[in-house]
Structures are given as C-alpha cells and as structure tokens.
Amino acid sequence: MNKTPPAWRHGTPAKTAVVLVNLGTPDAPTPAAVKRYLAEFLGDPRVVEIPRLIWLAILHGIILQVRPKKSAAKYATIWTDQGSPLMVHTEAQTRLLAETLQQRGYQDLTVTWAMRYAGNGPRSIPAVLEQLRADNATRILLLPMYPQFSASTTATAIDQALNWVTGLRNQPELRYIRNFADDRGYINAIAAQIKAHWQNNPPPALPDASYRLIMSFHGLPERNLKLGDPYFCECHKTARLVTEALNLPADSVIATFQSRFGKAKWVEPYTEPTLIALAQQGVKRVDILCPGFTADCLETLEEINLEVRSAFLTAGGEHFHYLPCLNEDPTWINALADLTERHLAGWPKQASASADLTTQAARAKALGALE
C-alpha cells in the first residue's frame, strides 16, 4: 500500500468522511467466489478463536473443501440481478444517509462504504481509507453496521482500520461508533416496523399462547461470552427495549440465536430448535425479525426466511411471518443520520482549509531552512 501522499497539498480544504462498514460478501454465488470469501472470513482469528495452526489445518484441509459448494447453493437462492443483497442494501443505505446529512447542512461530507472481508479489492477497509486520504479526508468516522458490539464483528473491523493508520506519517483523525444496541432511534425504528407489520397482519390479543414474536440474533460461542464479550448481553438489551417500546407482555417475546457453527456450545436458545419446539407446543403463528442485522443477507433471507420457516411449518406451525431488516426504511435512515451526526460533533460541516503550512511557498521555505 502506498502510504506516501502523491504531492504536498497544504491549503487544500480538509474534508470529513463517514464510512459505513459491513461484513462482506462473495463476488458471486459460485463455489470459487465463496471459497475466497470464507477463507478470509473464517481465517480471521477474531472470528474463530481456536489455536491458529490447528484451526488453519481444519479450515483449509476440510471446511474449504466442502462448505463453499453448499454455501454457494444457498447464496444462489437469494442473489439478485444487482448482486448480493447485503451489498445492494449497504450501497442504498450509504446513498440515503449521504442525502439526509446533506439536507442537514453537511454539504462537503463524503459518505462511502467498505466491507471487512473484501480481499484486496476496492471495497476493503484499507482501500477505502486510502482513497479518502488521497482525497484529503483528514477526519474519518467509521460506522460499523453492527448494533451490538462483538469482538468478532465490530472489533475486527476497527482492528483493520487501526492497522491501516499505523505507520502513516500524517494520520487522519479517526473515530468509530462502538455500538448502538440501545440507541433510541434504532429501537424506535424496529418498533415502528413491527407496528406497521401488525397493521397489515393483526396478531391475536396478547398474551396469547398461540403467538410469539421472535427476535433472532446471530449466535456466538458461549466461550466468548465467558471471556467477556458483551454481545449476548447487548442483544438481550435490544430485545428488552423493543419489547418495552411496544408495551408487550414479556412472555410474548423470545430472543434467540442463529447460525451456530461447529460442535462447540453457543449461546442459547438456538433459533430453529426453539421454533420447532414452539410449533410442537401449539404455537400457531410466529413473527420473526433479526435486529442484529441492519441489512438483509444470507443469514436472514436464506437461513431464517427459508430454512427456519420450513422447520416451523413442518413441525405444525401455521403462520410464519418474516419481517425484513431495516434496510432502507426511512425511519431507520433518519435514526442512522441522528446517530452519525452525534458522533460528528465538533467537526465542521463545511470543508476547512488546512492549518499546517498554507502555501507551497511556505513549504519550500521550510524545506530550504532544513538543507
């Protein structure tokens, strides 16, 4: 990576940028593309905390020989003409956030997006940050699109950004949003989405033994929780705040965890087994949403809306309603803008001239004095 600026640009207006950061996605729903993606994702020691040499032998000797074909088939069921749903929604959220902030007076603000697992492509975190630096962005706010903090999601994205900035002679001012699990705008956007769904699909008067509202979050190895990862607790806080915002009886709502991987014990209750048990106990309708994801992706569209749906209905359930992620919902975009604006506090809305050496002549004079 070139860490030397192409030219001295003292006096050029210093810019502010916001970077939405999401997980990443294969380039195509093919085994080869999925294998490249999984090699980077599952090769991250923040994601799989198993002794390195042992895990790499398992990953490259077994998992990457078998899983890419199966995962590619799943990606194919949710792929769109525009590409991966996660990428499509992330692009749209970025555009809408930029428009909203511009309406609020941020005329010179750059809003862009990056992926944690993007290889060496132009949407990798280092590549996006380097481009912003080349455009004279001296203030950069990173917005990981994970409401609940975990070492395996938010922390690894921040790690990559901090690794990029290490060694730069002229470092930009770097901020990041740690989490927004209890952000009032985020909570209200979820509650509003559920209310809108209920207007079209009225639930029974609650509490009712035949109905449950399910909030499914991505899973986490139980070992990570015991080591101090706050993710599990933040998920339950989100679920509690949404329940309170809707004024629901607590026993009408269940928080579950999906996407278990490997043989180790993960935090419980698991989503699919929970829904099978509910159907067998006489629950006829579930409304399910995934508040830990801000954009629909494989884990929501395929795992929940296809696999878990089938499991619930096969076990005797009658009505399964999947509520999409917040995606481009206007209430959410406004909440995202509020969140961003709070973390931009103290940075100018308009581009400002550099306060270093303001002219090329001054720079030349300073260099001459050193010779």
pTM over 0.85: yes
The mean pLDDT of the chain is 93
Could you please state the CATH topology (level 3) that the domain comprising 13-25+84-179+330-353 is classified under: Rossmann fold (3.40.50)
Rounded percentage of the chain residues whose pLDDT exceeds 70: 92
Question: pLDDT band at 358, cuts 50/70/90?
Answer: very low
Q: Confirm if 140 and 174 have CB atoms less than 8 A apart.
A: yes
Domains 13-25+84-179+330-353 and 184-322 fall in the same CATH topology: yes
For residues 161-175, one letter each, b for 16 or more C-beta atoms within 10 angstroms of the residue's C-beta and e for the rest, the string is beebbeeeeeebeeb
Give the per-residue pLDDT at 13.
86
Domain boundaries of the chain, sorted by first residue: 13-25+84-179+330-353, 184-322
Per-residue CA distances from 195 to 10, 249, 323 (Å): 53, 15, 11
pLDDT tens digits, 273-293: 999 999 999 999 999 999 999
Burial 10-43 (b: 16+ CB within 10 A, else e): ebeebbbbbbbbbbbbbbbbebebbbbbbbbbbb
pLDDT tens digits, 167-207: 899 999 999 999 999 999 999 999 999 999 999 999 999 99
The reported pLDDT for the residue numbered 356 is 47
Q: Fold for 184-322, please state it.
A: Rossmann fold (3.40.50)
Per the DSSP assignment, residues forming a β-bridge with 217 are: 257
